[in-house]
Chains A and B, each alone.
Chain A
Amino acid sequence: MKFHKSGTCSLLLACLVAWTGMTGADALADERLNGFLKRAVDRAQPRTVKIFGASVGRVEGYGTGIMVSDDGMILTGNGVFLNGFNTRVTLHNGRTYPARVVRRDTSLQLALLKIEAATPDYFELKKEPLAQKGDWVIAISNAFKVAERAEPLSVTLGVLSLETRLTSRRREREVIYDGELYLIDCITSNPGAAGGAVVTADGQLVGMIGKLIESRETNTRINYAVPARLLAAFVAGKTSPSTGEPSTQPKKGKPADLGIVLFSLGGRKSPAFVDRVKRGSAAQKAGIRSDDLVVTLSGRTISHAADYQAALAALSAGEKTVIVVKRRTQLKRFEIIADEK
C-alpha cells in the first residue's frame, strides 16, 4: 500500500508543522497550521453535488451525490426522494440540472443518476482500497440542507474505524444494507448526508456515505461508507462482489397480485380490511378470508390501504412472501406466492 503510507507521512508532517509553527499570525504560518485538509477539501468539493427531489411525509426531499464520470453520471443513496417527477442536481458552481434515475440497487441502497451536462471533475472509483483502519477520512455532504445553490458542502473529519459487515436477523434486526462497509467515526448519519463523498486526506475517494441505518431496538444510527470498489461494480453494472447475488439491475419481474380486494371507505387512510378474496387467487390458496385485517405484508407494517398497495407494488409475480392478518382477536401468519396481475 504505497499510496497509503506516503499519505499518512505527509499528513503527520503537516501536523508537526502545524503544531510547532505558532510564532506569527502571518499567512504562511496559518497555511502550514491549518492547510493540511485544504487540498482534500478543494479536490472533493467540485466533485460532490446537492440533490433535490420529492419530500414525502417526514422523509427529507434532498440528498448528496458524487460525480463518477465526465458525462454527468452521479451516484447517490437510494431513497424515495428520487421517486418524484422533478429530481434536480446542483453542481458546486450553483448550476442546476434535471436528473433521471438510471439504475438502483436495493441491497446496497444505491442509485445512479444522469444529468445532461459535462462534468470534467469526477471521482475515479478505484478497486483497491485507498485507506485502512486508523486513517483520517473526510466526509463531505449536504446534511440538513445547510448549503444551497453555489454554497460549499459541509466537511467533517473522522477516522476510518473498521471494514466490516452488519449482521441482520429477520424481524429482529433488519439492516437494509447488505454488503461490506467502512465504519467511520465522524457523524454522517444525518438527513440528506447519504450520497456524500468520503475521501482520504489527499482527496481520493474511499467510499460514499450510505443510506441511513437506524437500529429499531436502540434508536441509534451507524456512520458508514459504501466502499469505492462496490460503487465501481454497481456503476459498471456488474455482479456486486459483496452480495454474490446477480446484479441489482432492476430485477423486478411482472407485477404481482394476491387476489385481495380491500374494503373501500374512500380516502387513502381507510384500514386494510379484506372485503373479498378472488376465487382461485393466491390469497384464497393461502387461506385469507374476508373481514381479515392486513397487518403486515413482506415485513412492512400496513396501517392503511395505501400501505398495502405500496407493499404489493414492491412484489413481483411468483415471489414468495409472508402476510400477517388479524382475524377477530388473533394474528395469523400465512406464506403466500404472488400471482401475476
Chain B
Amino acid sequence: MRILFRLLAVFGLMLAGFENACAQTPRQDEGLDDAEMKIILAAEKARVAAIRKVIGSVVAIYSEIRGGGGSGVIFDPSGLVLTNHHVIASAGVSGWGGIADGNLYRWNLVGTDPGGDLAIIKLEGRDDFPCSPLGNSDRVRVGDWAIAMGNPFVLTEDQKPTVTLGIVSGIERYQPGAGGNQLVYGNCIQVDSSINPGNSGGPLFNMQGEIIGINGRGSFKSRGRVNVGLGYAISANQIKNFIPDLMATKLVEHGTLDVRFGQREGKVVCEAMYNEGVDIVDKGLELGDELLEFEGCRIRSNDHFTNLISMLPETWPANVVFKKPDGTVRNVNTRLVGLPYKLRPPRAPRPAPGKGKEKGKKKEPTPQQKRAQQRQQAMARVMTTEPGRIRDEKQNRQNCRIVLDHLARSILGSTGALQAKTLVIEDQLLDEQHKKRGSQKIWIAGDGRFRVNQEQEGDRRAFVFDGSQFWKISGDERPVKLDLLKARLTPEIVQVFSYSNLLLEEPYQLFGKLLIDGGDKSRKKPAFRLKTIDEENDWFYLWATLFNDRGEFDIRLSKASADLDADGTSGGVLFGQWQQVSGVRFPVRRDFFRGLDESVTGSAVAEKIQLIEGIRASQFEISASGEASDEIP
C-alpha cells in the first residue's frame, strides 16, 4: 500500500509541478454522433470480452512466506506456468501462486533457463486450471495492440491481475544480459504497455488472447524502477523452443555454434574460432566463410544472426548455410553446444559492524532466518546442477505423464473410440522418388497389438506384435521372434509400434523407463524428445511437437527412432498428415528418414483407413510352435 501512495503522490506532484495556462482551442469540440458512440461501445465490449477470456490464466507468484511478487501464466490445464527466471531466483524452488478465482495454490519449480530469463513452475491441486494458448510471435508487428497482465507492485489482494494496454513499440529487439551469459533478451518484443516491477513473468497477449511473450524487463535507468514506456517481453517462439528442456527439469543453457561471426563489407563472416573439435568446423566451416542462412532465415546482419541464435537452446539441431570464398555453398546440420553460465561466487557474510568477535557468542538464527537460508540453499543447488541434466527425475516422470496424456488424447480424443475395435490401414509404399514400390496392410487392435503385412516386388513379409513379443514372417517361412533391440531397429515395426503403444495405460514400458530427454526439433518445429532406457542401457527415442497451428498446447507424435540423430543403420519414421477416422486420428503419411536433416528415404501413404468392430484375436497370435495361427488375409 505504501508503494501505491507513493505512486499517487508522484502523479499528484506531476500535476502540481507544471501549471499550465490552458490555451484556447481554435474550434469547438464536435462531439460524437450516435453511430460513432455505438462503434466505441462495441469496441469496448469486445475488448472486455477478450480480456475476460484469458485473465483466469494469469498467476501472481509469491514465495513460501507469501512475500515477494512476480507473475506468470498457465499454458496447460495441469498447472504448468511460464514465468521469469529472475522471479524464481528470488522466490525460491517452491511457494504460492494466486489466480483470479481468488485461491492460492502451491507451486514447485520445474526447470529454469537463466540465459533467456525463462522458467516453468507447476501449480498443484487441480487438473483443470484455466490456461491460454501461445501465439506465433513472428507475426507480431509494430503498432499491434498488446495487453500486459500481472501483479505490478504486488497490488492485488484478491489475486485478480492488473491489466495494462499498449502497443508493440519494436520487434526483433536485443537487450544485452547481466553478464555470465545470463538474462539476455534476444529477438524480444518491445511494448509501451506499462511494465512495472511485479509484472515480471506475466504474459503479454495479443487481441486474440494468445500469449505472444513473457514480460520480463523495462528500460529503467536513473529514474528508479518504474515504467518509462519501454518494456520487453521474451517472444513466444523462443519460449516454445525451451519448454521441453524446462519440462525435463533441466538448468537449460543457450546454444552457440562455438565460432564467432562479424560484419565485414556488408557480409557476415566467420571471424574467430576458439575450441578444438567444434562440430561445424569439422563439417567444413573455415575462417572467412560467409554466413548466408541460419535455421531457414537469410542473414541480414551479424545482429540479426545474434538475435536468431539467442532463441535456441543447446543441442538444438541447427541448419546453417555458408559460402566459401571460392563461391561454393555448403548446407550443414549441426547440434548447438551450450553457452556456460558464469555464476558469481556466493558472497561471504559480512560481520555486523561494531559487534566484534570479543563476545565470541554466535547468535542463534530465528526459525524464519533458517527457512530463508534453506530457500537460498535450495535455489543455489538448482543453479549449480550440471546444465542439461535431468535435475528431478520424479518431476520429469510427472511431466512425461502429461505429455503422454496429451499424445493419447491427440489420437483418441477423450472418447476411447478404439476400445474393442480394430483400425485397418491400407498403405501404398513409395520410394524416395515417390514411385510406388509395394503395398502394406496394417491392423491395430484397441489393446495395442498389431500386424503389418507387406508386399514388395513379389516378396511377402509380415510383422506381428502379440502384446509382449515381436515376430517377423518372411514369405511362407516360420515366424521368427525378434528381440527388443532388433524390433526397435526395424522401421516397419517402429511405424506402428510408436503409434499403437499410445493406446495403452503405460506406453513404451516394453522398452524400459520413459523420461523426457529434452527439447529438439522435428520437421522445423520445436519438439519434446522422449527416451526409453532399459536395463541393458539400450534406448529408443520418440519426438512429439508441442503446439498446433492455433498455438494450443497440443502434443502430436512427430517421429521415432532408435538413434538420436537417426544416422545409424536403421534411420527412423516421421509421422504426418493426421486424419480423423471415426473419432480416431491416424498419420496418413509415414516417412522413413535418415540423419539430422530428416532426409526421406521412402514413405507409406494410407489409401484407406477404417475402424472395424471387434478384435480378431487370431490375427495377432503366434502359436507356441511359432506357427502363425491364422492365414494372412
Query: Which A residues have a C-beta under 8 Å from some C-beta of B?
Result: 1, 5, 9, 12-13, 15-16, 18-20, 22, 25, 30, 33-38, 40-41, 58, 129, 132-134, 138, 143-144, 146-157, 162-167, 173, 175, 180, 183, 186-188, 190-191, 213, 215, 217-218, 220, 222
Contact = CB atoms under 8 A, between A and B. Distances in A.
Interface in B288-305: 300-301, 303
A164 B23 contact: yes
B329 interface: no
B614 to A, nearest CB: 41
Given A163-B23, A183-B20, A25 B230 contact: no
B338 to A, nearest CB: 28
B13 interface: yes
B68 interface: no
Contact of A157 (B16, B17, B166, B549): B166
A33 B167 CA distance: 13
B583 interface: no
A190 to B, nearest CB: 6
Contact of B192 (A165, A180, A186, A217): A186
A187 B229 contact: yes
B363 interface: no
A5 B30 contact: yes
Given A18-B207, A152-B170, 19 more contacts: A12-B39, A13-B39, A15-B39, A19-B43, A19-B47, A30-B139, A35-B141, A35-B143, A147-B170, A152-B142, A157-B192, A164-B21, A165-B20, A180-B23, A218-B10, A220-B13, A220-B14, A220-B18, A222-B18
Which of A25, A165, A173 lies at the interface centre, i.e. has the most chain B CB atoms within 10 A of its CB? A25
B20 A167 contact: yes
A153 B171 CA distance: 10
A191 B515 CA distance: 50
B22 interface: yes
Contacts of B36: 9, 12
| 4 tightest Cβ-Cβ pairs between the two chains A and B | A187-B229, A37-B143, A19-B46, A215-B17
B190 interface: yes
A150 B192 contact: no
A152 to B, nearest CB: 6
Nearest to B27: A1
Contact of B141 (A38, A40, A133): A38
A41 B47 CA distance: 23
A149 B303 CA distance: 10
Contacts of A133: 25, 29
B347 interface: no
B18 A22 contact: no
Contact of B173 (A20, A146, A162): A146
A34 B207 contact: yes
A87 to B, nearest CB: 23
Contacts of A12: 36, 39-40, 43
A154 B166 contact: no
B344 interface: no
Contacts of A190: 219, 228-230
Contacts of B206: 34
Contacts of A215: 13, 17-18
B554 to A, nearest CB: 14
Given A19-B43, A22-B207, A156 B20 contact: no
A30 B221 CA distance: 35
B550 interface: yes
A208 B568 CA distance: 64
B145 A34 contact: yes
A38 B171 CA distance: 13
A162 B429 CA distance: 73
A220 B25 contact: no
B21 A143 contact: no
Nearest to B140: A34
Contacts of B63: none
B229 to A, nearest CB: 3
Given A34-B207, A146-B219, A22 B46 contact: yes
A186 B228 CA distance: 9
Given A155-B142, A155-B167, A155-B170, A143 B26 contact: no
A167 B549 CA distance: 57
B169 A15 contact: no
Contacts of A165: 20-21, 23
Contact of B20 (A18, A153, A164, A186): A164
A55 B446 CA distance: 73
B29 to A, nearest CB: 8
A150 B166 CA distance: 24
B21 A167 contact: yes
A187 B228 contact: yes
A146 B169 CA distance: 11
B273 interface: no
B227 interface: yes
